[in-house]
């Protein structure tokens, strides 16, 4: 039964990534999350606005904003935007303010404190803890957050180390996958050239350049890259310089990654300290094993030798060696794909994630009343 609890998510973002997809999964399942949801949106990206609206999510839209550093500072610390958010929270009769990516942290806490509302924060990653440009009032916003949900135990440990006083406020709720949407598909033919999928935002820390260089060392292997971002021009130039533009296919941002995953033998993740990896879980759900590095939250969802392969060193050589071994391991790939789907059904369903948030919301309301 849906609770009358009202959650307002504060979204200050330009790109569409794992955080935004998690929000959609949560906000479109009021029964499992035991709450109704709305989004206070500040974005320069019409595609993000359209994605949220397309899922029928209630949006309170600030309108087109600028995304430069000075605009962020004014938004976070100035009087106008926080007042707008305060009015939205009041008009929506919010019970809990749920903040997500870094740009929402300070303004969300400021507006919530004015109304005496509790703040729940999902910690989707850790980059803002190591980025000097994010240091201003970073700890203040965290200290004034009532409950912090980490998407993996790796993220929980990282935050607890950075600010030990927050340990008792930290909880882990893994991202979940809609197993009815990301359904398993049959393995590709053993006669087809080995084809890899990389589904991610194309930013330098994602490490796509390592994978392109590795593919260049293994003849006959194809790579499909679904995603966009600041690193894409450099990656396309790299593929051209290595003479692999015929084998490395840039597909751009794909709102539905399923056709890409279905057309490949396995997925690859080359990120440095991936917080968890929602695209990894989606690949596993479709019966595609994953090749990734043993770092961040990846070992929590990729079981080496059972649902994929974990590499110890983040080098082109180690990736290329593993890819070479996979060229003649099609039966192993298919078997691991079946194990991958079974793992998600057991431990990675979106319903389990939503139920975890329902408990977190209920606990937060209870603590505020006591």
For the cut 80, the answer to whether the pLDDT of residue 12 exceeds it is yes
- Say what percent of the chain tops pLDDT 70: 98
Separation of alpha carbons 348 and 176, rounded Å: 5
pLDDT tier, 369 (very low <50, low <70, confident <90, very high otherwise) = low
Do 120 and 147 touch, CB atoms closer than 8 A? yes
Which residue bears the tokens 């392109």?
212
**In a 3-state reduction of DSSP, which class is residue 222?**
strand
Structure tokens at 27: 């906000």
Instruction: Tell me how far apart the terminal alpha carbons of the chain are, to the nearest angstrom.
Output: 24
**In a 3-state reduction of DSSP, which class is residue 249?**
strand
pTM assigned to the model: 0.91
Map out the domains of the chain with their CATH numbers.
6-176+349-369 (3.40.50.2000), 195-347 (3.40.50.2000)
Which residue bears the tokens 């569409």?
16
Mean pLDDT across 133-146: 94
Average pLDDT of the residues of the chain? 94
For the cut 60, the answer to whether the pLDDT of residue 149 exceeds it is yes
308: left (phi > 0), else alpha (psi -120 to 50), else beta? Answer: left
What long-range pairs does 126-129 form, CB within 8 A, spacing at least 24? 126/155, 126/158, 126/159, 126/273, 126/275, 127/205, 128/102, 129/158, 129/159, 129/162
Query: Residue 224 has what pLDDT?
Result: 98
Which residues, 6 or more positions from 184, have their beta carbon under 8 angstroms from its beta carbon?
A: 285, 286, 287, 337, 338, 341
Mean pLDDT across 206-226: 97
For the cut 70, the answer to whether the pLDDT of residue 361 exceeds it is yes
- Among the residue ranges 14-28, 144-158, 239-253, the one predicted with the least confidence is 14-28
């Amino acid at each position: 039964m849906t609770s009358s609890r009202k959650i307002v998510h504060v979204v200050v973002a330009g790109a569409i990534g794992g955080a935004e997809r998690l929000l959609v999964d949560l906000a479109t399942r009021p029964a499992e999350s035991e709450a109704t949801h709305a989004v206070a949106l500040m974005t320069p990206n019409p595609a993000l606005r359209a994605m949220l609206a397309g899922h029928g999510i209630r949006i309170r839209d600030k309108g087109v904003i600028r995304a430069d550093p000075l605009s962020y500072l004014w938004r976070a610390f100035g009087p106008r935007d926080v007042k707008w958010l305060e009015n939205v929270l009041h008009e929506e009769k919010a019970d809990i303010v749920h903040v997500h990516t870094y740009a929402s942290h300070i303004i969300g806490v400021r507006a919530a404190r004015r109304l005496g509302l509790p703040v729940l924060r999902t910690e989707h990653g850790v980059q803002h803890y190591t980025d000097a440009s994010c240091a201003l009032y970073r700890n203040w916003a965290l200290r004034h957050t009532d409950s912090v949900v980490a998407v993996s135990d790796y993220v929980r440990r990282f935050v607890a180390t950075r600010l030990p006083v927050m340990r008792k406020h930290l909880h882990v709720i893994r991202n979940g996958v809609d197993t009815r949407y990301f359904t398993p598909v049959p393995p590709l033919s053993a006669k087809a050239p080995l084809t890899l999928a990389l589904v991610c935002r194309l930013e330098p820390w994602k490490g796509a350049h390592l994978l392109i260089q590795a593919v260049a060392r293994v003849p006959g292997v194809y790579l499909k890259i679904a995603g966009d971002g600041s690193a894409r021009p450099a990656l396309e130039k790299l593929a051209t310089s290595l003479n692999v533009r015929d084998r490395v296919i840039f597909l751009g941002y794909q709102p539905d990654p399923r056709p890409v995953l279905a057309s490949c033998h396995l997925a690859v993740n080359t990120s440095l300290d991936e917080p968890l990896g929602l695209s990894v879980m989606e690949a596993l759900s479709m019966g595609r094993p994953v090749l990734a590095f043993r770092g961040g939250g990846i070992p929590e969802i990729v079981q080496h030798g059972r649902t994929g392969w974990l590499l110890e060193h983040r080098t082109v050589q180690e990736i290329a060696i593993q890819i070479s071994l996979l060229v003649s391991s099609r039966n192993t790939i298919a078997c691991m794909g079946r194990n991958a789907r079974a793992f998600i059904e057991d431990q990675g369903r979106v319903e389990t994630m939503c139920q975890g948030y329902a408990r977190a919301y209920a606990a937060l309301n209870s603590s505020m009343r006591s």
